[in-house]
Structure 1
Amino acid sequence: MNKMIIRGGHRLSGDVTIGGAKNSTVALIPAAILADTPVQFDMVPNILDVHNLMLILESMNVKSDFADGILNVDPTNIVENALPSKAIKSLRASYYFMGALLGKFGRAKVTFPGGDNIGPRPIDQHIKAFKAMGAKVINDGDKVIINTEKGGLHGASIFLDVVSVGATINTILAAVKANGETIIRNAAKEPEIIDIVTFLNNMGAKIRGAGTDVIRIEGVSKLEAKNTHIIIPDRIEAGTYLAMASAYGNGVNVHNVIPEHLESFISKLLEMGIDLKIHEDSIYVPESHHFNGIEIKTMPYPGFATDLQQPITPLLLKANGDSTIIDTIYPKRTKHISELNKMGANIRYNDGNGSIIVSHTDKLTGSNISAGEIRAGASEMIAGLMAEGTTVISNADNILRGYDNIIDKLTDLNADVEIINDEK
């Protein structure tokens, strides 16, 4: 694992360009194996999750190469093979290979996925959808074995009991080549789902309703890539930099942003009193010093994203009065609290109602802390930039899993930050 060293006290200024959406990319790469031709993606973020997914592709004889934001994937010689459990366990999004392999071969054998430990994230809705389409699912130790009968998958009407991005995408991947029409009701509406459906439809899939709560998929026999798919900007990365620039910036331009994807987050920054200048594909964050306390409740899209409640927390420390966060998606997403409190933050978790209370804090001091998962690490990184002295974040691979070229981007904004290898 790596460590991130941050020498605080350097206010940020300049320009930063947001990369492609991590939450799209980690589904698009498994989706690529459904293609009957080579596939090319543009604006791929340079994050650890991409490299781990490439290792999984390699295990199936799927060739891939990645440079300068361009990822080429050639699934034309794919073979069924045991997937590397270490790579599977390194990221939760590896579960998209369940739907992709099921759609490709009519069967899949995948180790239970790993990734961030932020509380229960069951895959029961994924399994429910696969069964509805005619699959048989067996739990074998730490593996999920999915098979279909001779006729393969068939269309089905599926109602998801909870709004789930993962289950929605996995159902689409399994259904895109199934026989007949599949209807997903209570589907998630995230922009990343629209991105994945756009990729599939451009190859010949017949999917309607992405971005609404009812998605209809008519199965097709062939998918052929004719154009490069450009991945949408990462709204979570954008929100992280907006929070960072608001908390400790002297004027920062955030480029390659789709403001409509961030409306709920932007509304909270405006409520805090930050005078954002919002343009078609960029947002300017001016120097700010006076902030209002706010209340946040995370909700499925288009509500406030659970992935942004931790990155906004250091900014809330600067507000006059208390701010309250209630995460209705992952109530146990609290790994950042104890680490920020080591730096002098005043944050409390009310176990009774699941609320996080963030109180005004005059000063943060550099400390030795640990990134328990991606967004907790982002929160700690922002706090380290704000703090006096040096902050050392261990388990920094968790930050590198989710943030494209993070050291270069922070350095360009005047931060004093580096990654060193932790040899212990």
Structure 2
Amino acid sequence: MTTTVKEDAPDPRGLMTVYVAGFFSMGMLDLFAFLVPLYAIALGFSATEIGILVGSRGLLSMVFAIHAGACMDRLGARRVTLVLIAGAIALAPLYALMPHFWTLLILQIVSGCTVSLNYTGTQTLIAQLGRGEAEYIGRYSFATRMGTASAPIVVGLVWDFAGIWPSFLFVMAWGVALFAAVWAIPDPGVVRAEADAAGDDTSAPPFRIADALPRWSDYAQSFAMMAIPAVAITIAVIFVRNATSGIQGSVYVVYVEGIGMTGTMIGVLFAAIEAMSGIGSLFGGRAMRAFEPQRMMVVSTAIAIALICITPMLGGVFALLLVAQGLRGVMQGVMQPVMFSVQSKAVGAHQQGAMVGLRQSANRIAAMAVPPLMGWVADRWGVAESFYILGVGLIAICGLIYLAVLRLPQPGGRRTG
């Protein structure tokens, strides 16, 4: 017999397990983003090779991001997420056994997909268990930020004091904790209660190969939304915004390691942006009321780009690097809820899932494209120079997006400019 969950009272224990899962799932993304460049440096790879490695982790998840949400709907988010986590756990220690570029590249492509999509799974689970309420999703978001803030510091200490093997075994242990948290999550009560009311079978559907394969209709529905101007603008902003993460995960690590920063210090720099981003997100609603949302998105993105691209100007002073990371975190944190709100209001309630898939595809494209480009520029013109070259290019793109925003009509028929 299925337990009915009250409409106004989501299961507190279920919510808590999702918060814990969010902590570990988002933290796992940063563990790989932090360790892979350091490992590649230790192996003597060039900046271009490091950029390719970092960017490649988004290749498969870019292709399957839209499909993943539909697959979780068909087979159950909890079940699919557990399979993805198990794959990530099994693959983590293999990094220490792969000292050659091409074998490491293949491993990074496959592992990156499992890690990225298990985070998609925990996002789906909180949406189901929390009934879409902002209160619960906000707590989940805070938990994910705490995961990304703490993971780099801890693994940085492991790297400095224990080395390569213990670092990747730590990632494996982190994955086991994530698996346990997701295992403890109950099947979403909302889904079961609705199925009971309709007299439908609430058991998990049997697995069929066809259910795990991509469907053209899923992709067509998502990409069709790019015809909506507000959606197109926000997707462009997301791409440019996530370029800063691509910089941080590739040449930024090469640069700060090259000027003498230890793994622990680099971990603190990574943690600073995540912690301040969490704080900044608390002010997204106020900022949206105080400023025109789409203009603010573009301006805050340009500021965030400038803050990471001035890194060579800061003279290797740790305090200045920390302040720049913190300010960039605030900019990106304030902007994120604004972006999601603009997207949500631009499409219907029945299109929210497709919107998430489209957004994640843009995330993955940026994560895959920027690091190799940054690495190539660094090898050709120098590491420090690559910050300036890419910074000028990205800010110029922001300028073009801003001009497009000025041409968008407001609800009253006026243009924003």
How would you bin the TM-score normalised by the shorter chain?
under 0.3
Structure number with higher strand proportion: 1
The structure whose RCO (Cα within 8 Å, separation 6+) is larger is: 2
What TM-score comes out, normalization by structure 2 length? 0.26
